[in-house]
Amino acid sequence: MGKVFSYTTREEMSVEQVKRGLESFRNPSTWPDWNSNAKNLLATKPESIDEGDHLAIFQVIKGSLIETKWLVRTIREGDDFCEIELLGEGQSRNERPIAKGLTNLQISITFLYQENGGIEVHSSCEVSLLMSIFSKQINAFMKKQAKQFITDLSSIE
């Protein structure tokens, strides 16, 4: 049994802004245009994201190729909202697995396109009790990941 870390952030936006953010998020070919971490993205389908799809985000950090894999676990849609849940499938540096200490890494992004709506990002992960000694760094990672999505999605024009 491990310890769960999570962070949630929200930003209020206009209906049009939220719809633009959702449209861009659901179109993998536009990710490099708006997502500051996704310089390259490989997706199951290039023009849409659906349940069960796989995403691989590639970036170069300190000269090493970092690949982060995600599964689109669920998509719930209603008249004025869309919630997309991503499940982390692992990360590798130069094709070698890294970040094995984080398990059950999830990001849930809710797009609420109604008056006083906006975008909410919730990220969570589980770590072993031994890994929880790095709680300060894990909390910072959860916060940075959630805020990065909010910042990038809110800046789409």
Q: What is the pLDDT of residues 100-137, one digit of tens each?
A: 778 889 999 999 999 889 999 999 999 888 888 888 99
Is residue 25 within a helix (H) or strand (E), and if so which, with residue range?
helix 15-25
The mean of the pLDDT values for the chain is 90
Ordered DSSP codes for 44-94:
SSSS---TT-EEEEEEEETTEEEEEEEEEEEEEE-SSEEEEEEEEEEEEET
Q: What domain range includes position 107?
A: 3-154
Query: Considering the entire predicted model, what is its pTM?
Result: 0.89
The region that residue 17 occupies, defined by phi over 0 for left and psi between -120 and 50 for alpha, beta otherwise, is alpha
Domain tally for the chain? 1
What pLDDT band is residue 92 in, cutting at 50, 70 and 90?
A: confident
CATH number at residue 38: 3.30.530.20
